[in-house]
Amino acid sequence: MIVITYFLYCKNDCRTELERKLQIPFGILAFAICITIQILFIYEFGDAQAEIYSAYLQNIVMSVAYLYMLNRRSGSKGQTKLIALCKWVGTLAPTLIGVIENNIFIITTGIICFVLDGLYFYLLWYVKKAGY
């Protein structure tokens, strides 16, 4: 569903004709790269470990993407504090499992996500309060 939504609406945020032209090919390239990396994770770590490690890296990418989107749109269009809060808290829960298991990778990437998601929540709150 996210992929379909991306391809349906990605051109709405383009500022130039060149961006509009390249948005779909760039999106396809980005997805191809992500799928390749996921396959490499599975090959290198096996199914169970690949899911865990790649999920945290994907979460960091998504956190940065949310911040980028907020900045790029110069406002809160299509974004809610509830979504931001759920992402923020949703990252914390599995990170606590990493603490219990003493997994440094999960703890570190979880903290990075938690900080980025907290920053996104704060900035989104600020933007909405300022009326953007």
pTM of the model: 0.80
Q: For residue 106, give its domain range.
A: 2-130
Phi and psi at 8, nearest 5°, equal: -75, -35
What is the per-residue pLDDT for 14? 80
pLDDT in tens, 20-32: 899 899 999 999 9
> What is the count of structural domains for the chain?
1
